Amino acid sequence: MARGTVTLARAAVVVRAGAAPLWWLGIAAAAAGAWQDGLTGQWIGLYAGAALFLVVAPAVYAVRRGRVLAQARKAQRAGRGAVLQDRAVTLRTWRRARRWWLAAAFAVAAGSAAAMPIAGGLVLAGAGAGLRAKAAWLGRREREQEALLWLPVGAVTARGAGTGGSGAAYLRTGIAAGDAPPGGGVRRGSPATV
């Protein structure tokens, strides 16, 4: 059992935090690109973007899953002094730490429409879909193990946090802890937050 007072953020919520921004920024960039012909024309951009979406989404879903499973197997039980961070706070912290990366990704995706319309936006949307699928996969693992996985809040701002790349050790609690169910979604009866 991990001892001492520590503030914990849900691992699945951290994974899920990038899904909505990437998805909606990607859709916005694709929609903006749909008004341009670019160098390749809209149809080629659409087909290329759809193909890239089908490559990027599974790739993002698959990356580092083995490391996540290895860390989850070694997870210690969180101590009595652990403070569980609200889902909304975790989402806000993750997104605030990466707001410039998200803005740069949108700018690149929207700017790429000058060469190939729509495609760049669908790449971003594919990354968002992959993260959402990975959070759902993590939720299935949590249900199977009947334990929720948590990270120290300092890892939320770390590169790769929640996906096995931050190097932070997971801690676990019972399935009913915190304000988010397995997978990091919104618990029934809670205010909706993406």
Question: Of residues 69 and 30, which shows the higher confidence score?
Answer: 30
Taking the CA atoms of 174, 178, 180 and 184 in sequence, report the sign of the dihedral they define.
negative
For residues 38 and 124, is the Cβ–Cβ distance under 8 A?
no
pLDDT over 90 at 27, yes or no = yes
Mean per-residue pLDDT of the chain:
85
pLDDT at 88: 92
What distance in Å separates the CA atoms of residue 24 and residue 31, rounded to the nearest whole number? Answer: 10
Three-state secondary structure call for residue 166: coil
Mean pLDDT of 144-172: 74
What distance in Å separates the CA atoms of residue 27 and residue 25, rounded to the nearest whole number? Answer: 5
Mean pLDDT of 180-184: 81
Q: Write the pLDDT tens digit of every residue in 168-177.
A: 688 889 888 8
The model's pTM: 0.85
**Residue written as tokens 């007072």?**
5
Q: Write the pLDDT tens digit of every residue in 81-103.
A: 888 899 999 999 999 999 999 99
**Among 77-81, 113-117, 152-156, the range of highest mean pLDDT:** 113-117
